[in-house]
Amino acid sequence: MGDPGSSDMPIEAAPPASKAQAARRGSLRETSLETPAKAAPLRGYGIDYRVDPTVSFAEFRYWAKVEREEEREAERLYLERRGPMTLTKMIKSRFSKGVHHDNKKMDQQDAARIPGPSTEEKGGSEHTSIAGRFKGVLNKSSSGGDEKDEARENKALAASALNEDKNAPSVAHGDSSSASLDEEWKTAARALRTAGWSSIFFLVTTDILGWSGTPFVFASVGYGTGVALYVVFGIAASLSGLMLWKIFTTLDSSRYPMLSYGDIFFRIFGPKTRHFINVTQSLQQFCTVMVLIFSKGRIISLLAGPHLCFIVCMIIIMAIGMVFGSIRSLQRLGWICNLSVWFNIISFISIMVAVAKYDIYYPPIFGSTILPKQKNPVKTFAGLVPDAYQQQARGFAGIFNGVDNMVYAYSGAILFVSFMSEMRHPMDFWKGMICAQAFICIVYLFFGLFVYSYFGQYSASVIYQVINPAGLRTFNNVLNLLTGLIAAILYFHVGMKTVYIEVFQEVFKFPPIATKRGKWMWFALGPLYWIVAFLIAAAVPNLNGIVGFVGGLFAVNFSYSFPGIAYLGWSVQSAAELPGEGFNPETGESVVHDSGTKRWARGFMKRWYIHIPCTIYVLAGLATSGMGTWAAVEGLIEVFGPGGTVATSYGCRSPVWG
């Protein structure tokens, strides 16, 4: 993964541009070699300027190198002062307000032990160069119990993002070295970055881990193929994570922070690709809400009994989503999200107990699959599963439906950029991500193999709905209903805000969401979002098919294809740099000697041994997406045919009652 533009290289500014080399400040396409040098204009920086089209790829890279070196030094000093990690310190770190608050406490402790000026005030110490940079805002936000000041600071930063406030600091490039950057802004930006790599382990695990569908995968592909593909896709998901990590660490800075998946494509390919990614991301999150409406409607049907119309069950979920979706802030839901993790652990253990001790509950299987409608002996297969034992479709489509669900289970890379933007030292992201992916793979294999060994071809994708006894089934249904509703509301907020800010606000010029008019637009569009999701879910009432379709069309691309495309573009642009090119902070100019096909071809061939495998990786991801989407459609056609599901579009008959 090494690259000439890696953050491990020393920071070197481009040489001052001569009249023969000066290029207009902006994108890489601005390559005039005869433009006379101009005085460096004022440059805005901050959240709103992270998508400034006049900032070049070279400038993003320059400030990222500056940022990584400062972070590395700050992390070294923090670890030195903290001392060796102990169990007590580890427990306390779970409740810490962040590294900057810890630094402040250590300064106060040092001052109490040694009378005289604090470390920050002493001249010539090794710590001064870093601590001084973190002093301005932290003294305002963390001294004397000023938690309200900190809250106001965070709200101000959030308001900046939502309102597109153009009053962010501006500096002339000639005076914009790291040392002279507005320290209050830099400190405020870094004060929000507090997560360590251990926190990333929990975030990635919570984001990705979805173990309940793993038995269905083995029921579709068999023991051997299932184990092999789970390991292969786990390695590929980790590789995609490493690609995003490499891009982030070489393009992100507190001056131009990266906050979302679309920001990566903006910095590599331009604004249009960012819009495409944001719209596609919104569609995936919309489809996730649609899946949750249908799956939780199934739980309502199981709890209420066969006499309640299934369409009414989904309307209940839609109505709950409308009510809670009107909340514009998720701050009050944080503790509920923590509860959902414990709900999952309890459900995981209870299902394994039920599978090992009790018989299968057949009605949901008979009502929603193409398996014979009578009980047959449980069968498991080491190799590929024969057509007679497939749940969703026959032939290759049936096997690939299992692969779709497997890919969907690893989807989560879409939030990796957001996770890295919360880290105090993003260079450590790979540690937490790799550990999380390994843990997730082990859990998937253990749970999937365990349940498949007992339930065989009857291992449903919603395994908690086909277990006995009734009391344990009801208990798990309630737990999954609660966690599902929380997830639906969270995905609605993320998806709806992305749609509103990136599409309605940016393209159609809707008012900012924090304004009074924006608030009313949010209240109006929110219910419409839920209604449309309900209408599509009710039109295609088959969970395996919907999950397979979403997995094939979206999850594969966001987890594998898009990271590969982004890494390929980033690496080619980095490799294409010629001697004398780069960003000059003294003049604010990005010197680029050529552009177009010639530049891309040179960059590709310079590191062909990385770019060719990366291209194959991207093509494999796109092919998997295409085949997965086709298999999902074929499966839906077959499952709604003779001998398939009893559910119909906008019908009353429930698929869980056979």
What is the per-residue pLDDT across 215-269, written as a single tens digit (0 to 9) for each?
Answer: 999 999 999 999 999 999 999 999 999 999 999 999 998 889 888 889 999 999 9
Sorting pLDDT into bands at 50, 70 and 90, what band is 17?
very low
Q: Above pLDDT 70, what percent of the chain? A: 75
- What distance in Å separates the CA atoms of residue 395 and residue 406, rounded to the nearest whole number? 18
Pairwise pLDDT comparison (215 vs 653), residue with the higher score:
215
pLDDT at 103 over 80: no
Q: What is the average pLDDT across 483-506?
A: 77
Pairwise pLDDT comparison (277 vs 19), residue with the higher score:
277
Pairwise pLDDT comparison (85 vs 350), residue with the higher score:
350
Residue 514 forms part of a structural domain: yes
Helix axis angle for 57-82 and 223-251, nearest 10°, is 100
Closest to 159 (Cα-Cα) out of 188, 190, 183: 188
pLDDT at 549: 87
Pairwise pLDDT comparison (487 vs 275), residue with the higher score:
275
Domain enclosing residue 254, as ranges? 194-640
Q: What is the average pLDDT across 426-448?
A: 93
- What distance in Å separates the CA atoms of residue 255 and residue 70, rounded to the nearest whole number? 13
Residue 418 forms part of a structural domain: yes
Looking up tokens 């070196």 gives: 69
Residue 540, number of CB atoms within 10 A of its CB: 16
pLDDT at 621: 93
Q: What is the average pLDDT across 105-128?
A: 53
Residue 236 vs residues 210, 242, 411, 568: alpha-carbon distances, Å: 17, 10, 11, 15
pLDDT at 443 over 90: yes
Highest-scoring range by mean pLDDT, 63-72, 86-95, 450-459: 450-459
Sorting pLDDT into bands at 50, 70 and 90, what band is 170?
low
pLDDT at 133 over 80: no
pLDDT at 191: 64
Contact residues for 25 (Cβ-Cβ < 8 A; gap 6+): 41, 54, 56, 588, 589, 590
pLDDT at 100: 60
pLDDT at 107: 66
Residue 459 forms part of a structural domain: yes
Q: Say how many domains are in the chain.
A: 1
pLDDT at 540 over 90: no
Identify the CATH number of the domain in which residue 496 sits.
1.20.1740
**Half-sphere exposure of residue 241: CA atoms within 13 angstroms, side-chain side:** 32
Q: What is the average pLDDT across 111-118?
A: 60
Output the pTM of the full model.
Answer: 0.77
Q: What is the average pLDDT across 452-481?
A: 91
* Stretch among 24-33, 77-86, 589-598 having the lowest mean pLDDT: 24-33
Sorting pLDDT into bands at 50, 70 and 90, what band is 116?
low
Sorting pLDDT into bands at 50, 70 and 90, what band is 326?
low
Q: What is the average pLDDT across 472-492?
A: 84
- What distance in Å separates the CA atoms of residue 611 and residue 142, rounded to the nearest whole number? 47
pLDDT at 114: 64
Q: What is the average pLDDT across 120-141?
A: 38
pLDDT at 52 over 60: yes
Residue 57 forms part of a structural domain: no
pLDDT at 657: 79
pLDDT at 562: 96
**Cis peptide, bond prior to residue 642, ω within 30 of zero:** no
Residue 86 forms part of a structural domain: no
When the pLDDT of each residue in the chain is averaged and rounded to a whole number, the result is: 78
| Residue range 67-91, pLDDT digits in tens | 888 888 887 887 787 777 777 766 6
Residue 594 forms part of a structural domain: yes
pLDDT at 563 over 90: yes
Residue 182 forms part of a structural domain: no
* Stretch among 267-276, 323-332, 429-438, 553-562 having the lowest mean pLDDT: 323-332
Residue 533 forms part of a structural domain: yes
Residue 207's region, left for phi above 0, alpha for psi from -120 to 50, else beta, is alpha
pLDDT at 502: 74
Residue ranges of alpha helices (H) inside 94-222 are: 99-113, 128-131, 135-141, 147-163, 183-191, 197-208, 214-221
